[in-house]
Structure 1
Amino acid sequence: MNVMAKAEKKISSAFIYFFGSFGGILFGYDIGVMTGALPFLQADWHLENAASLVGWITSAVMFGAIFGGALAGQLSDKFGRRKMILMSAIVFMVFSVLSGVSPDMGEASAYYLIIVRMLLGLAVGAASALVPAYMSEMAPAKARGRLSGLNQTMIVSGMLLSYVVDFLLKDLPGEWAWRLMLGLAAVPALILFLGVLRLPESPRFLLRKGDEAQARKVLSYIRKNPAEIDQELASIKETAKEERQANQKTSWLTLFSGKYRYLVIAGVGVAAFQQFQGANAIFYYIPLIVQKATGQAASSNLMWPIVQGVILVVGSLVYMWIADKFNRRTLLMVGGAVMGLSFILPAVINWMMPNMNPMTIVVFLCIYVAFYSFTWAPLTWVLVGEIFPLAIRGRASGLASSFNWIGSWLVGLIFPIMTASMPQEAVFAIFGIICILGVLFVKTCVPETRGHTLEEIEEQGTNHGRVKASNPEN
């Protein structure tokens, strides 16, 4: 036992935060890898004119993630964040390999790959729900925005990694290229599994299960001041005590009770808007977007995903620099406004100047990606991790993640169908309008969370619910 305790004391806060957020690499790699694999897969399986089938192959992971996020969120309340992250890594490894060895059976191959990628999506969705919750529960309030932003840095680093892998493998024979691109996703999953084996459980989860001694030990790894540890433990215990006194038994209906409704709508709404704004249409289909704009073959445009990936990584680092200097709401509204204009202006310019340079739309997409990278991309997961009260955090994070993946799935599924039936500029203009609606949602429905403890945020939501209950006409 003493040996175990000494081993645990050697866990540094840097190690905890690094591997606590490393699940984002899996999330990001699988978002990005199909971008490069798809042109080769289309050619190998002769799917160039099968827009709906291409949409399903691309979006199958997101469809599975809808259920993975909700399931993992619920199970993490019972078994803990750490154990569920480990399980997600195992599932990710298995189905990444099965994707890479898809049998060549004609049209049946496509359906096999769709099913395998749906099952892979369970792990991707789980990671998207578990990592923000874990990181927010480990990070101190004053640095929660920056440390939770590590999740976004990991996601975009995973995307950039997949783009680079796609580019390096593009000269292989077509069948080998896409198979290796998909199968190599098992490598970061193995690294995540080995790293998380040494991670401690969340102190908030431990206290909820009555293990105060272990919760204090975990906080000692990541808080330097003993007084701060005592204060945080007392605050978490007080929240847990209030929940026990109310003899609260949470269910899915609990999320929309008067006490929690305001915060749940805010968190789930932001998560949904992030995807319906259309970012993943760029990330999944940028080679095909450039092909449609310029006429160049998609397989020769694999440098563009790398450009997008570099912008995303730089933007995530910019976010970590400004995260705790600006209010969350301000960044979301400014970012959403610029993103909306970046989508709408190409349609306006094309309407006024029909002979517009086709690369103009790609330039505006880069502007969109730049602002998305340090506003909506990281802040969505920061808010999802910090806005939900402890009693419902697992379920609510899972619900937000599921709505996020519903948006991602629908965008991935319908984008190739939409661009086959209307100009690209019109499709992006529709996404631009959704961006502006997202700004209005943040302005009217989302509270400010920067600098507040998780318990203070919960009190905000409770007080808002009481005001609404006493003033129903408002």
Structure 2
Amino acid sequence: MNVMAKAEKKISSAFIYFFGSFGGILFGYDIGVMTGALPFLQADWHLENAASLVGWITSAVMFGAIFGGALAGQLSDKFGRRKMILMSAIVFMVFSVLSGVSPDMGEASAYYLIIVRMLLGLAVGAASALVPAYMSEMAPAKARGRLSGLNQTMIVSGMLLSYVVDFLLKDLPGEWAWRLMLGLAAVPALILFLGVLRLPESPRFLLRKGDEAQARKVLSYIRKNPAEIDQELASIKETAKEERQANQKTSWSTLFNGKYRYLVIAGVGVAAFQQFQGANAIFYYIPLIVQKATGQAASSNLMWPIVQGVILVVGSLVYMWIADKFNRRTLLMVGGAVMGLSFILPVVINWMMPNMNPMTIVVFLCIYVAFYSFTWAPLTWVLVGEIFPLAIRGRASGLASSFNWIGSWLVGLIFPIMTASMPQEAVFAIFGIICILGVIFVKTCVPETRGHTLEEIEEQGTNHGRVKASNPEN
């Protein structure tokens, strides 16, 4: 027992934060890998004119993630964040390999791959819900934005990794290229599994289960000041005591009672807007977007995803630098406004200058990606991780993740269909309008959370609910 205790004490805070956020690599890799695999898959299975089938193959992971996020969020309240992250890594490994060995059975191959990628999506959705919750519960309030932003850095690093892998494998025979691209996703999943084996459980989860001694030990790994540990434990215990005194049984309906409704709508709304703004249309289909704009074959445009990936990684690092220097709401509103204009301006320019260079839209897409990378991309997951009260955090994080994936799935599914029936500029203009609506939503419905403890954020939401109850006309 003493040997185990000594081994546990060797776990550094850097190790905890690195592998606590490493699940984002899986999330990012599978977002990005189909970008390069799709042109080869289309050629190998003769799907060039099957827009709906291409949409389903691309979006199948997101469809599975809708359910994976909700299921993992609920189970993590019962079994813990750490155990569910381990389970997600196993599921990801298995179905990544099965994707790479898809049998060649004509049209049936596409349906096999769709089903396998849906099951793979369970793990991707679980990671998207569990990692922000785990990181927010481990990080101190003053650094929570920056440390939770590690999740976004991992996500975009996973995307960039997949783009580079796609580029390096593009000269292989078509069938081998896309199979290796999809199958190699099992490698980061294995690394995650091995790393998380040494991670401790979240102190808030441990305390909720009555294990104060272990919760204190975990906090000692990541908090240097004993007084800070005592204060944080006392704050968490007080919140848990109030919940027990109320004899509250958490259910899905609990999320929308007067006490929690405001914070749940804010968190879920931001998560949904992030995807309906159209970012993943760029990430999934940028080679096809460039092909439609220039006429060049999509398989020869695999450098563009790398450009987008580099912008995303640099943006995530910029975010970590500014995360705790600017209010969350300010960054979301500024980012959303520029993103909306980046989608709408090409339509205006094309209307005023019919002979506009077709690559102009790609330039504006790069501007969109740059602002998305240090505003909506990381802040969505920071807010999801910190805005929900402890009593509902697992369920609410899962619900937010599911709405996020519903948006991602729909964008991935309908974008090739929309671009087949209308100009690309018009499609992006629709996304631009949604970006502006997102800015309005943040302005009117989202509270500021920077610098507040999780318990202070919960109190803020509770007070808002009381005000609404006493002033129903508001």
Q: Which residue of 2 aligns with 1:261?
A: 261
1:309 aligns with 2:302: no
Q: Distance in 2 between matches of 1:446 and 1:306?
A: 34
SS class of match (1:88) = helix
Shift of 1:312: 0.1
Q: Which residue of 2 aligns with 1:92?
A: 92
Shift of 1:231: 0.1
Deviations 1:39-64 (A, max 9, x none): 00000000000000000000000000
Shift of 1:91: 0.1
Matches within 5 A, 1:72-471: 72-471=72-471
Shift of 1:138: 0.1
Q: Distance in 2 between matches of 1:29 and 1:79?
A: 27
Deviations 1:177-205 (A, max 9, x none): 00000000000000000000000000000
Q: Distance in 1 between matches of 2:249 and 2:17?
A: 31
SS class of match (1:162) = helix
Shift of 1:361: 0.1
Q: Distance in 2 between matches of 1:294 and 1:9?
A: 57
- Superposed CA RMSD in Å reads 0.2
What percent identity do the matched residue pairs reach? 99
Deviations 1:375-408 (A, max 9, x none): 0000000000000000000000000000000000
SS class of match (1:49) = coil
Q: Distance in 1 between matches of 2:185 and 2:167?
A: 15
SS class of match (2:47) = coil
Q: Which residue of 2 aligns with 1:67?
A: 67
SS class of match (1:11) = coil
Shift of 1:10: 0.2
- TM-score normalised by structure 2 residue count: 1.00
Q: Distance in 1 between matches of 2:352 and 2:85?
A: 51
Q: Distance in 2 between matches of 1:4 and 1:458?
A: 36
Q: Distance in 2 between matches of 1:307 and 1:470?
A: 52
SS class of match (2:355) = coil
Q: Distance in 1 between matches of 2:113 and 2:390?
A: 38
Deviations 1:92-125 (A, max 9, x none): 0000000000000000000000000000000000
Q: Distance in 2 between matches of 1:469 and 1:7?
A: 51
Shift of 1:140: 0.1
- TM-score normalised by structure 1 residue count: 1.00
Shift of 1:253: 0.3
Deviations 1:139-187 (A, max 9, x none): 0000000000000000000000000000000000000000000000000
Q: Distance in 2 between matches of 1:252 and 1:217?
A: 32
Q: Distance in 2 between matches of 1:346 and 1:103?
A: 42
Q: Distance in 2 between matches of 1:319 and 1:368?
A: 15
Deviations 1:413-437 (A, max 9, x none): 0000000000000000000000000
Range moving further from structure 2, 346-355 or 420-429: 346-355
Q: Distance in 2 between matches of 1:192 and 1:284?
A: 24
Q: Distance in 2 between matches of 1:350 and 1:119?
A: 42
Q: Distance in 1 between matches of 2:465 and 2:361?
A: 44
Shift of 1:351: 1.1
SS class of match (1:432) = helix
Q: Distance in 2 between matches of 1:178 and 1:169?
A: 8
May I ask how many residue pairs the two structures share in their alignment?
Answer: 474
Deviations 1:215-251 (A, max 9, x none): 0000000000000000000000000000000001000
**Which runs of 5 or more residues in structure 1 are unaligned?**
none
Q: Distance in 2 between matches of 1:358 and 1:69?
A: 39
Q: Which residue of 2 aligns with 1:12?
A: 12
Runs of 4+ in 1 over 4 A off after TM superposition: none
Q: Distance in 1 between matches of 2:350 and 2:414?
A: 23
Deviations 1:285-305 (A, max 9, x none): 000000000000000000000
Q: Distance in 1 between matches of 2:376 and 2:78?
A: 30
Deviations 1:54-100 (A, max 9, x none): 00000000000000000000000000000000000000000000000
SS class of match (1:74) = helix
Q: Distance in 1 between matches of 2:350 and 2:33?
A: 31
Q: Distance in 1 between matches of 2:434 and 2:217?
A: 46
SS class of match (1:357) = coil
Q: Distance in 2 between matches of 1:61 and 1:357?
A: 35
Q: Distance in 1 between matches of 2:425 and 2:352?
A: 13
Q: Distance in 1 between matches of 2:420 and 2:251?
A: 43
Shift of 1:352: 1.2
Range moving further from structure 2, 349-358 or 61-70: 349-358
Q: Distance in 2 between matches of 1:359 and 1:453?
A: 46
SS class of match (2:351) = helix
Deviations 1:277-323 (A, max 9, x none): 00000000000000000000000000000000000000000000000
Q: Distance in 2 between matches of 1:335 and 1:226?
A: 39
